[in-house]
Structure 1
Amino acid sequence: MTELRNLKPNKFDRIFNGFAKRLTKIGIGLAGSQNLAVRGRKSGEWRTTPVNPLTLRGERYLVSPRGHTQWVRNMRAAGGGELRLGRRVEPFTAVEVEDGAKPEILRLYLKKWAWEVGRFFDGVDARSSDEKLLEIAPGFPVFRISARG
């Protein structure tokens, strides 16, 4: 089984994420990116990071390509957050997806965004077997999100 991952951003990641965050703040999503805002589990303050929301069969998902990061821990505690693009703010609730349901989600995520996040998947790509995707699933949290009404 794959160990729980928490890959810290390197210098390139910080520069790229800062750029993506600024673009989404003014309303330009880089390849569909949006800013995820979630309340800190300890501070209660809003924390933001760029994410790539994914739609599969009418359901929307957030995948953490860097593993069990701070935003993942905050999302688990808060049970939701906001997706922001420019002035548009979309509140949502989030439910974590079980590992057994992740292969199809991870496959589509890698198909769409491997150019950006593929290096975090250690050689696993959209063509990998379901067995391989199941093997790595514990290291990549996935949340199904629904608009909060």
Structure 2
Amino acid sequence: MAYLKPTWLVKKFSSIMAGTNVAERLTVTGRVSGEPRQVAVTSVNLDGVKYLVSTRGESQWVKNIRANPNVTLTVKGESTAYVAAEVPVQERAPVIAAFRPVLGRLLVGRYFTKLPAAADHPTFALAPPPAR
């Protein structure tokens, strides 16, 4: 699976954004450490479903979700628990098409140029956890 490693500056910016109420913050469980890991993300809503798209490909948060799909998304200080389900490659195109304009051409356009295939961008649908 392809992956575009972030520069030091991008990692620092993402770390700062994940610690604020400005960006959406995804909390996943580390697959090795078992500790919570946070990353700034942008979700997109399409047909009433919230989605996450990995612009850089096979990132650590993607690997962590695959190991444990129970995640928390914090938006403006409000945290919501979800269960993430990976979208099959053949169903990703409409989600990616809705996602790209949300972040803008300058921010993520180069990622989609370097990783042009839908298979390069793991995509997850977020659903509320089952009621107990």
**Do both proteins adopt the same fold according to a TM-score greater than 0.5, normalized to the shorter chain?**
yes
TM-score, normalization by structure 1: 0.79
Superposition pairs of residues 48-87 of structure 1, within 5 angstroms: 48-87=38-77
Name the structure where helix makes up a greater proportion of residues. 1
Unaligned runs of 5+ in 2: none
Aligned to 1:119: 110
Unaligned runs of 5+ in 1: 125-132
Please report the RMSD computed on the Cα atoms of aligned residues, expressed in angstroms. Answer: 1.8
Aligned to 1:108: 98
Selected match of 1:97 from 87, 98, 101? 87
Work out the percentage of aligned pairs sharing the same amino acid: 29
TM-score, normalization by structure 2: 0.88
Separation of aligned partners in 1, 2:127 and 2:61:
17
Instruction: Count the aligned residue pairs.
Output: 129
Alpha-carbon displacement from aligned partner over 1:31-87 (angstroms, at most 9, x marks no partner) = xxx110000111110000000011001111000001011100000110121012354
Structure 1 runs (4+) greater than 6 angstroms displaced? none
Does 1:6 find its partner at 2:13?
no
Stretch of structure 1 that moved more, 107-116 or 75-84? 107-116
